[in-house]
Amino acid sequence: MIQLKSIINCIDNSGAALVECAMVVGRKGAARIGDRIVVVVQKDRGNADSVGVSQANKVRRGDMRHAVIVRTKYKTQRRDGSVIRFDDNACVLINKAGDPVGTRINGVVAEELRRKKWSKILSMAPMHA
């Protein structure tokens, strides 16, 4: 249940670490797994490698991007009656066309993305549950 002002993790290598939801696209209520949202980057990934990482960052603090939610703390029910719930909220940045901004995803993503036709993100993910 991600809505305006929700701060969620960004789990790809686009450079963003924490993003804040500004709008839910195509829906009046809160966003669930597989929904598209408009986000503002609040924090980018650490400058541990100083120059190299900051140049590799595709986004910076304050950038506005679209994102797809891949994990929620709110329970998602499946058709067979099973329910899944993650320990955090996470998203992956995408451009307006729907292509991911980053090239890699680290972490698990939900299987619900398959039904919502986010196959590119699902294929990039190392594990899906």
Partner 1 sequence: MATTSTTPSLSSATSPPPSMRSISTSSTGSTTKPAGISYHRHFALPPPLPSVRHTHPDPFPALTVKQLAVLDPTGARTRLFDRTQPDAAKVGDVLLVTTRKGEPFAGVCLSIRHRGVDTAVLLRGQLMRVGVEMWHKIYSPNVVAIDIVWRRPKRARRARLTYMRHPKHDMGSVTHLVSAWKKERHSMRNKGRGFKGKTVGARF
Q: Which is nearer to partner 1, 94 or 110 (CB)?
A: 110
CA distance 6 to 96: 21
The single residue among 5, 51, 80, 96 that binds partner 1, judged by CB under 8 A, is: 80
Question: How far apart are CB 26 and partner 1 at their closest, in Å?
Answer: 27
Question: How far apart are CB 8 and partner 1 at their closest, in Å?
Answer: 13
Q: Taking a C-beta distance cutoff of 8 angstroms, is the pair 2, 10 a contact?
A: no
Enumerate residues 110-129 that contact partner 1 by CB under 8 A.
111, 126-127, 129
| Phi, psi at 108, each rounded to 5° | -95, 145
Q: Which span sits near partner 1 by CB under 8 A: 45-53, 54-62, 75-83, 92-100? A: 75-83
Q: Is residue 85 a contact point for partner 1 (CB under 8 A)?
A: yes
Q: Is residue 86 a contact point for partner 1 (CB under 8 A)?
A: yes
DSSP string, 48-67: TTTHHHHHH-S--TT-EEEE
| C-alpha dihedral sign at 84, 109, 59, 22 | negative
